[in-house]
Amino acid sequence: MRFIHHRFPLLIGLGVLALYRPIVLTAQEHEQAPQDHQPTVAGAMALVERAERELERLSARASRAAWVQSNFITHDTETMAAEASEAYTAAAVRFGKEAALFDEFDLPRDLRRKLTLLKLALTMPAPSDPDLTAETARLATTLEGMYGRGEYCAPDGTCLDIAELMRIMSDSRSADTLLVAWEGWRTIGPPMRDLYTRFVELMNQGARELGFADAGEMWRSNYDMDARSFAAEVDRLWEQVKPLYDGLHCYVRDKLQTVYGEEIVPSGKPIPAHLLGNLWAQDWSNVFDLVAPGDADAGYDLTRILREKETDAVEMVRYGERFFTSLGFATLPETFWERSLFTQPRDRDLVCHASAWDVDDSNDIRIKMCIEINATDFETIHHELGHNFYQRAYGGQPYLYRGSANDGFHEALGDAVALSVTPSYLVRVGLLDREPSSANDLAILLRSALSKIAFLPFGVVVDQWRWQVFSGEITPANYNTGWWALRQKYQGVAAPSAPSPRGEEYFDPGAKYHVPGNTPYARYFLAAILQFQFHRALCAVAGYEGPLHRCSIYQNAEAGRRLQAMMAMGLSRPWPDALHALTGQREMDATAIVDYYRPLKVWLDEENRGRSCGW
C-alpha cells in the first residue's frame, strides 16, 4: 500500500534518457489535426488513434528516462528529465483539450471512455503555454530530486540518509534519539515550500484549462464517478473501519505511556508522531515489542530464518516470482533480472523508494528496490511483483487501456498477494518446518494491524491535505498547520511539542515522498480496503474455509485464473466491472477488513475496557 508503480502517464516529471528528442508531427498529422476537432465519430476515432500512437512512443522514451533520473540523481539527469516531462505533458495536455471538445457529443461507449481517459491521464496537468509547461516539468523533477538527495546533517557534521534515519526510528527506544531523527528528516521540507507553492499554481491552471475547478477535482474525477461522489466514497469506507482503528489507537497509546510516561504520552491526547517506529507514523509495526501482550509469540521470526538461510536479494525476488508461477502465470522475462535494481549502490544518490516499472508497454518490466533481508521486504517484493504481473496482463490492451481498473486496484493487487504470505505459505516454500498453532494468531494479527490498520487514516490524510491545498482551503500561509490539523483529526497523531511547535517555517508534507513526487495517495487508501476484499473473494474461490488471516492462495490455479481475468481487463471497463469479475461485488466493501481482524477486535475491546479512549 505504501509503494508506487511506474508507467509514465500516471507519474509525470520523473526523468529522461539521451534518446529524447522533441516532438515532431508529420505533415500528415498536421493535416489531420484540425479535422479531429470536428464533433463527429470519425473525428473522435482519428483523435484517439493519433493520441495512442504518439503517447505510446513518448511514454516509452520518458519511462526509460525516468529510470535513469531516479537511479542517477544529478543536475544533468534532472535537466533532461524536465525536458522529457515537458514533451509528454505537452502532448497529453494537447490531446486532453482536443478530447474535451467532444464532451457534449454522443459517442459509442468505447470512444467515450478513451476520450475521458485522455482528459484524466495526467497527474500533473500543466498549462498549455510552452514556457509554463517547461516550468512545471522543471519544478516536478527538482522537487523529486530534492527528496531523493535528502539527508540530515547533525551539528557535529555527521550526515544520515533516509535509510539510516528509518533504522533509528525502527530500532531506538530513546524518546530523545527518536526526536532528533524525526526532526532531522524534516529539514528537507522547508527548501521545497516555495517551489511547491508555485507547482500547485501551475497544476491548478492546467486543470482549469481541461475544464476542472482545480487539480484536486481532476484527481478525484478519475474513478468512474464525479469528484464529489468519490470524496463521499472515501468518507464512507473510512467510517466502516474507524472503530477498529480507534481501538488499536487506544491500546497502543496506553502501552506507549507505560514505556515513556504520562508526561510524554498523555492520556486522552494524540500520540506523539516520533514514538510510533516510523518516520511518518504510518506504520506502527516496529513498536510491536513495546505493545505486544506479555505472552505474545508469533511462533517464528521470518527475518532470522531468511538470514540464517543466507538468502540474498535475488533469491528474495525469486520467492515472489515463484508465488505467481504457482498460480499459472508465466515466469518473468530475462530482461527483468538484467535491468532491475535490487540493492542500494554506494556510489550515487538515487530514489530508494520501492517501485515497479513498466518501461515500454512491451514486456520490459522491472522493480527498483533497495532490498534488505527481512520479513518486511519479503512481503514488499510480493507486492511489487503484483504490479509487474498486472502490467504484463493488460499489456495486450490498446494503449489507453493499459492500466489498472482504478489506481487503487494496482496497489490492492500487490497487497492482496502479500496477505497470502502466511505461515502455511512459508511451510510450503520451505521457510518453516511446520505451521505454528492458532494460539499464536493474536500476535500475528496485532503485528499486521500495526501496519495495515494504522495506515488507514494516513492514507486519507495525504490527499485530504492536497485536495484542500488545490482548492485554496489550505493556503501557503498555513500549509503546516493544515497538515497537522488533519493528522490529528484522522490519526490522533501530533507533532512532538519539544523543543518547539511545528510552525509555518516548516514544510512537513514535503518529508513524505508522494508530495514532492506528485503521486496521488487516495490509491493507497483504496488499496488498503480492496486488498482484503480481493483476498476474501480469492480465498472463497480457492475453497478455503478457515480463518481469513490464515488463508494463502499459493498454488491455487482457480484463484490464478480469476486474478488473470480481472487483470487482463486493464482500464477497458469501469472499475465496478473489474471488481465484479474478481469478487462478485460491484461496490468497494471494507467489511472484509472487519472479518480478517475480528479476533483482534474482540481482544482489543476487552483490553480497552475502562480506558479513556479517543483524543
Where does 542-613 have alpha helices with state H?
557-569, 575-583, 591-596, 598-607
Answer for the pair 529, 241: CB distance below 8 angstroms, yes or no: yes
69 phi and psi angles, rounded to 5 deg: -65, -35
Answer for the pair 576, 212: CB distance below 8 angstroms, yes or no: no
Left if phi > 0, otherwise alpha if psi is -120 to 50, otherwise beta: which for 310?
A: left
pLDDT grade, residue 297 (50/70/90)? Answer: confident
- Which one of the listed residues 514, 522, 528, 554 is annotated catalytic? 514
pLDDT-wise least confident of 137-151, 268-282, 335-349 = 335-349
pLDDT, tens digit (0-9, with 9 covering 90-100), for 365-375: 999 998 999 99
Cα–Cα distance, 406 to 233 (Å, whole number): 14
Cα–Cα distance, 545 to 260 (Å, whole number): 42
Cα–Cα distance, 347 to 73 (Å, whole number): 11
Answer for the pair 511, 273: CB distance below 8 angstroms, yes or no: no
Q: Mark whether 383 is an active-site residue.
A: yes
pLDDT grade, residue 38 (50/70/90)? Answer: low
Neighbours of 215 (CB within 10 A): 29
Apex CA 149: angle with CA 147 and CA 154, to 5°? Answer: 100
Answer for the pair 378, 422: CB distance below 8 angstroms, yes or no: no
pLDDT-wise least confident of 67-81, 128-142, 260-274, 367-381 = 67-81
Does residue 255 sit in helix, strand or coil?
helix
Amino acid 1: pLDDT = 29
Residue 169 predicted with pLDDT over 70 = yes
Q: What is the DSSP letter of 341?
A: B
Cα–Cα distance, 529 to 508 (Å, whole number): 26
Residue 350 predicted with pLDDT over 90 = no
Q: Mark whether 418 is an active-site residue.
A: no
- Which one of the listed residues 387, 410, 535, 549 is annotated catalytic? 387
- Dihedral, 412, 420, 246, 587 alpha carbons, nearest 10: 40
More confident residue, 538 or 64: 538
Across 80-94, 336-350, 388-402, 487-501, the highest mean pLDDT is recorded for 388-402
Cα–Cα distance, 175 to 280 (Å, whole number): 15
Sign of the torsion formed by the C-alpha atoms of 271, 272, 275 and 279: positive
Amino acid 500: pLDDT = 62
Mind giving me the DSSP string for 496-513? Answer: --SSS---TT--GGGGST
- Residue from 367, 313, 301 nearest 339 by CA: 367
- Which one of the listed residues 390, 524, 544, 596 is annotated catalytic? 524
Between strands 355-358 and 4-6, the pairing is parallel
Print burial letters for 569-586: b (CB count within 10 Å at least 16), e (below 16).
bbbbbbbbebbebbbeee
- Which one of the listed residues 354, 416, 527, 528 is annotated catalytic? 354
Cα–Cα distance, 508 to 33 (Å, whole number): 45
Q: Mark whether 183 is an active-site residue.
A: no
Where does 189-333 have alpha helices with state H?
193-209, 215-220, 227-260, 288-291, 302-308, 313-326
Neighbours of 18 (CB within 10 A): 11
Question: Helices 375-393 and 557-569 sit at what angle, rounded to 10 degrees?
Answer: 60
Using the structure block, give the residue that is written with the C-alpha cell 520479513.
375
Q: Mark whether 565 is an active-site residue.
A: no
pLDDT grade, residue 411 (50/70/90)? Answer: confident
Between strands 365-368 and 151-153, the pairing is unpaired
Q: What is the 3-state secondary structure (H, E, C) of 529-541?
A: HHHHHHHHHHHHH
Cα–Cα distance, 596 to 254 (Å, whole number): 24
Q: Mark whether 558 is an active-site residue.
A: no
Residue 27 predicted with pLDDT over 50 = no
- Which one of the listed residues 135, 384, 535, 544 is annotated catalytic? 384
Contacts of residue 602, Cβ cutoff 8 Å, sequence gap at least 6? none
Contacts of residue 358, Cβ cutoff 8 Å, sequence gap at least 6? 5, 6, 7, 63, 364, 365, 388, 391, 395, 402
Cα–Cα distance, 165 to 178 (Å, whole number): 9
Contacts of residue 131, Cβ cutoff 8 Å, sequence gap at least 6? none
- Cα end-to-end span (Å), the chain: 26
Neighbours of 194 (CB within 10 A): 11
Q: Mark whether 54 is an active-site residue.
A: no
Apex CA 549: angle with CA 602 and CA 238, to 5°? Answer: 65
Amino acid 93: pLDDT = 82
- Which one of the listed residues 5, 249, 274, 353 is annotated catalytic? 353
pLDDT-wise least confident of 56-70, 320-334, 413-427 = 56-70
Residue 398 predicted with pLDDT over 90 = yes
Q: Which H or E element spans position 464?
A: helix 441-471
Amino acid 7: pLDDT = 44
- Which one of the listed residues 6, 383, 410, 535 is annotated catalytic? 383
Mean pLDDT (the chain) is: 89
Residue 29 predicted with pLDDT over 70 = no
